[in-house]
Amino acid sequence: MKQVLEKLSASFEIEDIVYQRDDLTFLSAKKENLINLITHLRDIEGFSHFVLLSCVDWIEDDKFQLTYFLNKPEEKYDLGIRCMIDRKEASMDSAHHLWKQIATYQREIKEMFGVDFPGSPGVDEPFILEGWDNIPPMRRDFDTKQYSADTFFPRERPKTNDPKEYMKEQMHPGEWGEYRKEKK
């Protein structure tokens, strides 16, 4: 498999190759090359089984990572192809023509992350959510706990106590730390 990857890196500018397991390799590809690369892998290299399309939000780098997972059933080998795209105007070329299920993945990622795949069938239709009017929920900046607390009438419960703070209150209130802070 290493030879194949070397051959590929010449023509498709792949980088960051990580041999995760004997049968699993991750690599990064550029956005422009990606569709060509997976088409090549499917048609020439025999990666006929498309496993998964996933998206990771790297909010601190302002990037979305799309991971295309391909499997070669004959050699029992997996390839995870990462592709970093800009988070601001997140958009990616659609690959729905390569495998039928990709349209579903793209529809879900559009809904959950807001990454657009122009041309993918039904990509703008709601898939899982209904009547959602907030930012796409899988983005890191969406705070699900806060949203739930604001929306779904959580039942009131007794306040919890931190053992350390509680013991301090009970056994040694007014210690140095606070005194110093006041002074400052």
Residues 80-139 that bind other proteins (CB under 8 A): 80, 99-101, 103-104, 121, 126-134, 137-138
27, 29, 50, 110: residue in contact with other proteins (rule CB under 8 A): 50
5, 17, 56, 85: residue in contact with other proteins (rule CB under 8 A): 56
Choose between 32 and 167: whose C-beta lies nearer to other proteins.
167
Say which residue the tokens 């041999």 belong to: 19
Q: Which two tokens stand for residue 102?
A: 């990709």
Of 8-16, 27-35, 84-92, 167-175, which segment contacts other proteins by CB under 8 A? 167-175
C-alpha to C-alpha distance for 172 and 166, rounded to whole angstroms: 10
Q: Are strands 63-72 and 49-58 parallel, antiparallel or unpaired?
A: antiparallel
Map the footprint of other proteins across residues 17-36, applying CB under 8 A: 18, 20-21, 23-24, 26
Q: Which two tokens stand for residue 45?
A: 């290299």
157 forms part of the interface with other proteins (CB under 8 A): yes
**Cβ atoms within 10 Å of 46's Cβ, excluding its own:** 15
Choose between 1 and 51: whose C-beta lies nearer to other proteins.
51
C-alpha to C-alpha distance for 22 and 14, rounded to whole angstroms: 19
Whole-number minimum distance, CB 12 to other proteins, in Å?
20
Number of residues that bind other proteins (CB under 8 A): 72
Say which residue the tokens 């993945």 belong to: 105
173 forms part of the interface with other proteins (CB under 8 A): no
C-alpha to C-alpha distance for 81 and 26, rounded to whole angstroms: 6
